[in-house]
């Protein structure tokens, strides 16, 4: 191979390595994490139940690349009062975990990660909706994952009407906060940050 061709290829290879090593969670908001908070009772309001158009997904990564996944089975609701979201909750069937690789899906269900045999469900219960603008809210809620409950806070976009409410969010959490500590292979370490994506749609019950 000619030296000039070699010099041209080396920068390209370097760029490829840098791209593969990039952490996708660097592009998302870090959820604030604290101890579980009290859930206040809501009086009145209208219940909106999730539709089949809802999705909850995630992106995990390691030094050599990233994987997408999510959950096929979950249900939940929001409560609107005077046109504003005031409460909400959902429950995930962890056995419905999926990913973009069958072998990975089985590993995610195993004790190294979600341990679905021991913890078959995960739950999220809103503790507050704080309005920031017409469609932007900061949501706090108790997330129970892998048997650990923490209060997490993250930004959301809410589009609500009498007929439909849509709630979307994208943020990252530290899986170590929930006791999911599997590090991966020595030469292919798994990052602790996991991106969570909500695209939730609900209609009046």
pLDDT of residue 24: 93
Domain that holds residue 27: 23-204
Does residue 17 belong to any structural domain of this protein? no
For residue 157, pLDDT beyond 60: yes
Q: Tokens 């993250």 sit at which residue?
A: 154
Does residue 5 belong to any structural domain of this protein? no
* Cα-based torsion angle of the residue sequence 40, 43, 49, 50 in order, rounded to the nearest 10 degrees: -30
Give pTM, 2 decimals. 0.87
Question: Which CATH number do you get for residue 179?
Answer: 2.40.128.110
Number of structural domains in the chain? 1
Contact 169, 29 (CB under 8 A): no
Q: What spatial distance separates the first Cα and last Cα of the chain, rounded to whole Å?
A: 69
Does residue 2 belong to any structural domain of this protein? no
Does residue 174 belong to any structural domain of this protein? yes
Does residue 182 belong to any structural domain of this protein? yes
CA 119 – CA 106 distance, rounded (Å): 15
**Which pLDDT tens digit goes with each residue over 98-124?**
999 999 999 999 999 999 999 999 999
For residue 2, pLDDT beyond 50: no
Contact 71, 94 (CB under 8 A): yes
Beta pairing, strands 188-204 & 46-50: antiparallel
Q: Tokens 């602790």 sit at which residue?
A: 192
């Amino acid at each position: 191979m000619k030296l000039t061709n070699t010099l041209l290829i080396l920068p390209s290879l370097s760029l490829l390595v840098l791209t593969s090593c990039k952490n996708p969670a660097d592009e998302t908001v870090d959820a604030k994490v604290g101890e579980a908070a009290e859930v206040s009772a809501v009086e009145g309001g209208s219940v909106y139940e999730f539709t089949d158009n809802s999705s909850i997904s995630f992106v995990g990564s390691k030094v050599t690349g990233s994987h997408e996944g999510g959950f096929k089975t979950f249900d939940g609701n929001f409560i609107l009062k005077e046109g504003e979201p005031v409460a909400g909750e959902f429950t995930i069937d962890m056995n419905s975990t999926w990913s973009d690789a069958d072998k990975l899906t089985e590993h995610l269900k195993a004790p190294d990660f979600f341990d679905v045999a021991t913890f078959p469900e995960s739950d999220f219960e809103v503790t507050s909706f704080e309005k920031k603008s017409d469609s932007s809210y900061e949501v706090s809620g108790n997330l129970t994952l892998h048997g650990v409950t923490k209060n997490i806070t993250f930004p959301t976009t809410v589009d609500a009407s009498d007929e439909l409410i849509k709630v979307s969010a994208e943020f990252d959490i530290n899986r170590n906060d929930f006791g999911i500590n599997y590090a991966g292979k020595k030469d292919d370490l798994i990052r602790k940050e996991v991106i969570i994506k909500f695209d939730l749609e609900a209609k009046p019950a």
